[in-house]
Amino acid sequence: MIVDERTMTYIDSLNWQIPEYLKVVERAALQEEVPVIRHSMQSLLCFLLKIRKPEKILEIGTAVGFSAMLMSEYAPKGSHIDTIENYPIRQKEAQKNFQTYQKKKQIHLYPGDAKDVLKEFVAENRKYDFIFMDAAKGQYMNFLPSILALLSEHGMLLTDNVLQDGDIIQSRYAITKRNRTIHGRMREYLYTLTHSEELDTLILPVGDGAALSTFRER
């Protein structure tokens, strides 16, 4: 937790409620130890959707479908959400949730490795108004070229988990050996976003760290 947990609990108590069915999905996911975006990230994500009103949304990392369904609640009526998931057991659970809560028409799940699926989307010349990256943290840099090719001129990229519970500020040698590769790749990802000549990026200590990126005016 980057920000004091009591502070975040208080903030959430003031203004954050999700539909009851999403609470059920969230509880079930947490019981199965499936990661679900934190409440502060949920709030930020939905606030951005209400402001920007994207019609075409892409999510990398479906898990059980919680965040895709959450976005469907706050995106404009008639919007479409494509979401990518690599693990068959989670694909199955997500599809079950989409069908149970009647989200199949709005949300399309693409199974497979995100790197491959994204390349297919680029080849099809797809464009998205809003992209939410919440997948394997060590792969963010590998996904980035395709994501930027898919992002529309005035679109926004929201990346979750970029501060790694605060570990990102630690020296490489203060990180356990098994986590050093991910630590190094995330630092590279953040440096690339913040030093790109074509992007404006803001890093926020929300949830486990959020990066907001848009193209600069051309």
Helix intervals (H) in the chain: 5-15, 20-31, 39-52, 66-74, 88-100, 114-123, 140-150, 180-195
Q: In what order do the strands lie in the sheet with 56-60?
A: 107-111, 80-85, 56-60, 128-133, 151-160, 210-215, 199-204
Coil, helix or strand for 128? strand
Structure confidence by residue, pLDDT tens digits, 64-118: 999 999 999 999 999 999 999 999 999 999 999 999 998 888 999 999 999 999 9
| Residues 160, 134 contacting (CB under 8 angstroms) | yes
Structure confidence by residue, pLDDT tens digits, 20-69: 999 999 999 999 999 899 888 999 999 999 999 999 999 999 999 999 99
Degrees to nearest 5, angle at CA 84 with 131 and 144: 50
Ordered by where they begin, the domains of the chain are 5-215 (3.40.50.150)
Mean residue pLDDT of the chain comes to: 88
DSSP classification of residue 3? S
Distance CA(120)–CA(123), nearest Å, equals 5
Q: Among all chains, which residue has been given the structure tokens 């070229």?
A: 145
Q: Give yes or no for residue 166 having a pLDDT over 80.
A: no
pLDDT of residue 179: 53
DSSP classification of residue 197? S
The 10 Å CB-count burial string (b at 16+, else e) for 189-218 is bbeebeeeeebebebbebbbbbbbbbbeee
| Residues 148, 209 contacting (CB under 8 angstroms) | no
Q: Is the pTM of this model over 0.85?
A: yes
